[in-house]
Structure formats: structure tokens, C-alpha cells
Amino acid sequence: MSITHWKFALVILASALACGAANADGSGDSAVASSDDGKYADKDGNPTYKISSDGTVDWYTYSGFRRYHSDCHVCHGPNGDGSSLAPALADSLKTLNYADFNNIVTNGRNNVNASNDKVMPSFGTNVNVMCFLDDIYVYLRARANNAIPGGRPPKHEDKPEAAKQAETSCTGIK
Ligand code: HEC
């Protein structure tokens, strides 16, 4: 291989690595651009996850893991990996954006026709889901970008005061 070919190969490798780091999904670049008491947002203001190099996840990603596995995994499979009943949300979020996600979970979706009898129920009146939509979203966003492996995140940040207050006022449970 000539020197020019080597240089060319390095440029390709460098851009492939840069793309990998950017983690573009349905909502765009998932990199943390701002934070508010342990809740992270990307440059467009969409909720996003923060995973530290030692594997510690932010509180909302951890909470989303728990909420997902209590209310969604019966159909969508563990870890957002899908099942015969419903699609893999870890794949869906590679193209669905935050607004699409909120809309489908709140209102449900009914694509029933001759070849599809699958129904996504509406969760609009379920406080265990509606009060934690962002949590479930950031967890699945992390899964879509392969930022965390399957399974319970081993370490997480402490529950922020804001999360405690929001939970109390939203769910009505003191
Ligand atoms: C009773 C089974 C069931 C449960 C529980 C369920 N879903 Fe679904 N969901 C489905 C089915 C089936 C579809 C596909 C519907 C279709 O084909 O339009 C779906 C579709 C979706 C989609 C769109 C996926 C895509 O690729 O377009 C999202 C997002 C979604 N569900 C989120 C959730 C979340 C979040 C939860 C938990 C709060 C949840 N679902 C719980 C059955 C379920």
C-alpha cells in the first residue's frame, strides 16, 4: 500500500470514529449539552442520558430502566430488544424522535389491517407511565445508541431533589 493510500485509510477511519461518537438517533445528536439538577438535555433541548466512563448512569436513565421493565417489557421484550408481540424500541428510537415517542405512548397506535393485528395501547391515563415518560425515553435512547448494555445498570447517580418533587406532584403519591 502506498503512503497516500495509508493516509486515505486513516481519514476514513477517523471519520468513522467521529460518526460513532456523535450518536445520531431519531432526535439527532444525543450528546449532553445542558443539565438541570441531574436531568440532562441535548443541544435541541430533548432529554438525553449521561453515562460516565465507569458505567454510572444518570438517575433518569436508571428510573427509565425500572419503569420500562414494569410497564413496557411484557410486549416490547427485556432491554428494548423486542418480542413476537411488539417491535424492538431500541431500534425504533434510531428513527423515532422525542415528540413521536411521546405521541405514540400517550395516544397509542392502531395499525390493524389484514396483515397486522397488533395494537399499541394508550398510556395517557396511566400515571406510572405518563409521570416517567422522559425517564423511559432516555433509557431507550441510551439503548438505541448502545450507550448501555442490557440488564440493570450497576451504578446510578443519586435521585435528584427535582425528581422527588416531580414524582410527588405528578403521581399524587406522597
Ligand atoms: C400490550 C402490549 C404493549 C405494551 C404493554 C406496550 N406496547 Fe408499545 N407497542 C405495542 C405494539 C403491538 C406496537 C406496534 C403497533 C403497530 O404495529 O402500530 C407498539 C409500538 C410502540 C411504539 C412505536 C414503535 C415503532 O417502531 O414505531 C412505541 C414508541 C411504543 N410502542 C412504546 C411503548 C412504551 C414506552 C411502552 C411502555 C410504557 C409500551 N410501548 C407498552 C404493544 C405494546
Task: Kindly report whether the global pTM for this prediction surpasses the value 0.95.
Answer: no
Q: Which of 75, 95, 110, 141 to mutate to test the pocket of ligand 1 (most atoms within 8 A of CB)?
A: 75
Per-residue pLDDT at 122: 97
d(CA 58, CA 62): 7
Per-residue pLDDT at 58: 98
For each of the domains in the chain, give its residue range(s) and CATH number, in order of start: 27-171 (1.10.760.10)
Q: How many CB atoms lie within 10 A of CB 155?
A: 10
Residue nearest to atom 31 of ligand 1 (CA): 120
Per-residue pLDDT at 10: 62
The answer to whether the CB of 59 is under 6 A from ligand 1 is no
Per-residue pLDDT at 19: 46
Residues of the chain with pLDDT below 70 are 1-4, 6-22, 174
d(CA 62, CA 87): 22
Per-residue pLDDT at 120: 95
